[in-house]
Structure 1
Amino acid sequence: MIPDRLIEAGTLRRDGERVSVEVRLPWYRALPASCIGGAVLRVDGTEVPPESLRWEMNGRRSTFAELVPRVDDWWFPADSAVLSGELTLDGDPSAEHVVEVDLSLYIPYIVISESQVLRIEEHDRKSMTAVPA
């Protein structure tokens, strides 16, 4: 719904073998952590291995599987979350990198059928320099 603000500009961080980027909720209302269906993070066309992805929100770092039961932990539109994973950025530290994020969310209050709620998939792409974490 608001994909152009999914990636926070200037937030690409590198810390050894991990990269991270801040993301914002591309929806107009808060959602519980259990509604975060998953994400993909790519830097310069290289996808971060899915098993290494971590989601940090409200001071807690989790796998996407660990978010499923968290109905009492909310992501608000004004708050950033951090998406990170294992990827080493080589080369010139001042180089621009193309960062892409795909994010899947479930919207629990928009019911499509008796057993299904609305699922949205958003994508954003931004260029930025990585800074040390």
Structure 2
Amino acid sequence: MIPDRLIEAGTLRRDGSRVSVEVRLPWYRALPASCVAGAALRVDGVEVPPDSLRWEVNGHRSTFAELVPRTDDWWFPADSAVLSGDLALTGDPGAEHVVEVDLSLYIPYIVISESQVLRIEEHDRKSMTATTAVPA
């Protein structure tokens, strides 16, 4: 619904062998974490291995399978989630990278059949430089 705001500009981070980017909810209403059906992350055309992807919202980092029962943890349109995975970035620290995110969401209050709710799939692509994560 609002795919051009899916990736937060300037949020690509590298942390050793992992990359992360902040993602905004491409919907106008809050959704429970359980409604995040999955995502894909590519940097410079290289796909982050799906089994290494992690989703972080409200301080909880999870696999997509771990999100399924989280009906009481809400993702609000004004808040960013963090999508991360295993990928070592190459090139100069100031180099531009093309970041792509695919996101699938269930919209639980829009029923399209007796046993199915609406599922939307959004895509965004942005160019940005990566920053190095600062140790906590």
Q: Is the 8 A contact 1:12 1:131 kept in 2?
A: no
SS at match of 1:27: coil
| Alpha-carbon separation, structure 1, partners of 2:135 and 2:50 | 22
Q: Is the 8 A contact 2:38 2:104 kept in 1?
A: yes
| Alpha-carbon separation, structure 1, partners of 2:70 and 2:44 | 32
Deviation at 1:85, TM superposition (A): 0.1
- In structure 1, runs of 5+ residues without a counterpart are none
Q: Is the 8 A contact 1:28 1:77 kept in 2?
A: yes
Q: Using a 3 Å threshold, how does the CA distance of structure 1 residues 56 and 16 change in structure 2: closer, same or farther?
A: same
| Alpha-carbon separation, structure 2, partners of 1:131 and 1:98 | 22
Q: Using a 3 Å threshold, how does the CA distance of structure 1 residues 40 and 112 change in structure 2: closer, same or farther?
A: same
Q: Indicate the percent of aligned positions where both proteins have the same amino acid.
A: 90
SS at match of 1:51: helix
2:40 maps to which residue? Answer: 40
TM-score calculated relative to the size of structure 1:
0.96
- In structure 2, runs of 5+ residues without a counterpart are none
Q: Is the 8 A contact 1:96 1:130 kept in 2?
A: no
Q: Using a 3 Å threshold, how does the CA distance of structure 1 residues 5 and 22 change in structure 2: closer, same or farther?
A: same
1:68-123 Cα deviation digits (max 9, x unpaired): 00000000000000000000001211100000000000000000000000000000
SS at match of 1:124: strand
Deviation at 1:132, TM superposition (A): 9.1
Q: Is the 8 A contact 1:94 1:130 kept in 2?
A: no
Q: Is the 8 A contact 2:15 2:133 kept in 1?
A: no
SS at match of 2:55: strand
| Alpha-carbon separation, structure 1, partners of 2:134 and 2:88 | 13
Q: Using a 3 Å threshold, how does the CA distance of structure 1 residues 99 and 130 change in structure 2: closer, same or farther?
A: farther
TM-score calculated relative to the size of structure 2:
0.94
1:82 maps to which residue? Answer: 82
Q: How many residues align?
A: 133
Deviation at 1:62, TM superposition (A): 0.2
| Alpha-carbon separation, structure 1, partners of 2:23 and 2:17 | 20
1:62 maps to which residue? Answer: 62
Alpha-carbon RMSD across the aligned residues, in angstroms, is 1.7
| Alpha-carbon separation, structure 1, partners of 2:135 and 2:73 | 29
SS at match of 1:89: coil
Q: Using a 3 Å threshold, how does the CA distance of structure 1 residues 23 and 102 change in structure 2: closer, same or farther?
A: same
| Alpha-carbon separation, structure 2, partners of 1:131 and 1:45 | 26
